[in-house]
Amino acid sequence: MAKRAAPEVNAGSMADIAFLLLIFFLVTTTIEKDKGLLRSLPPIDDSQVTPPIIKQKNLFTVLINRNNQLLVEDEQMDIKNLRQAAIDFLDNGGSTNAAGESCTYCKGKGLADSSDHPDKAIISMKHDRETSYEQYMDVQNELVAAYNFLREREAARLYKKYYPNADKVFTAMLEEKEKNQYSKDEVLNERIENVKSLFPMKLSEAEPDKN
């Protein structure tokens, strides 16, 4: 036979391939969302009111020096032990709060030289100007983790029945709040506030010394 012209390639499936790729990238690409630790700063207070005296046992001091070493309650500590130490302090429940109620939900040892009640327990942290930001964040993270751990525990105790499949009840509650942010759910908000009030976050930061 004589030479024949090559048949034209069918381009009809090209669109399919393009869509396939498009959908693949749509599914796999995640638009980056910033995440971080949310904290509130104290407002500037110019009034000359003498601050109330806080008992030493209700204060959990964390100091970070310029070499990124930790001094917790006057003892040097490794960062990996900080979370548990903070949990033990907050959860101690040695005595009563200002209203005279004892901490019925605390599971701590009730030591006399540790915090009276989660309402009274204050974590105070201070760092040096030369401390690295990374270490500072690690410490913040551990302290927030201690609060979150205890809040999770209480949320699981109180509201597990509403979230039987959730691994972390408090996280599930916050996620639900986030989802329904345009239709306020009073009951849910009240529950979240309740859990927060059981372990109020009292994390104070002192200004580093000027030198």
Partner 1 sequence: MSKFRKKDKGELPAISTASLPDIVFMLLFFFMVATVMRDSTLMIENSLPSADQVEKLKKDRTVFIYGGKPNSQYKQFGTEPRIQFNDAFIGVEDVRASVIQAISELNEELQSKVVIGLKVDKNTNAGLVSDIKQELRKANALKVMYIANTKTQN
Q: What is the CA radius of gyration of the chain?
A: 27
Choosing from 107, 109, 129, 157, the residue that interacts with partner 1 (CB under 8 A) is 129
Listed ranges 52-60, 96-104, 114-122, 202-210: which one lies at the site for partner 1 (CB under 8 A):
202-210
CB 72 within 8 A of CB 84: no
Choosing from 1, 25, 48, 182, the residue that interacts with partner 1 (CB under 8 A) is 25
Choosing from 76, 107, 137, 179, the residue that interacts with partner 1 (CB under 8 A) is 137
Task: Single out the residue of 141, 36, 148 nearest to residue 87, CA to CA.
Answer: 148
CA distances from 172 to 41, 138, 159, 191 (A): 26, 24, 11, 12
Number of residues counted as binding partner 1 (CB under 8 A): 52
Q: Is 110 exposed, middle or buried (0-12, 13-18, 19+ CB in 10 A)?
A: middle
Listed ranges 88-96, 97-105, 111-119, 128-136: which one lies at the site for partner 1 (CB under 8 A):
128-136
Instruction: State yes or no: residue 46 binds partner 1 (CB under 8 A).
Output: no
- 75 or 167, CB closer to partner 1? 167
- List, edge to edge, every strand of the sheet that includes 122-127: 75-77, 70-72, 59-64, 122-127, 203-206
CB 206 within 8 A of CB 128: no
- 65 or 97, CB closer to partner 1? 65
Separation between Cα atoms, residue 130 and residue 133, nearest integer Å:
9
- 23 or 111, CB closer to partner 1? 23
Site for partner 1, rule CB under 8 A: 2-3, 5-6, 8-9, 11, 14-15, 17-18, 21-22, 25-26, 29, 31-44, 64, 127-138, 140-141, 144-145, 148, 178, 205, 207-208
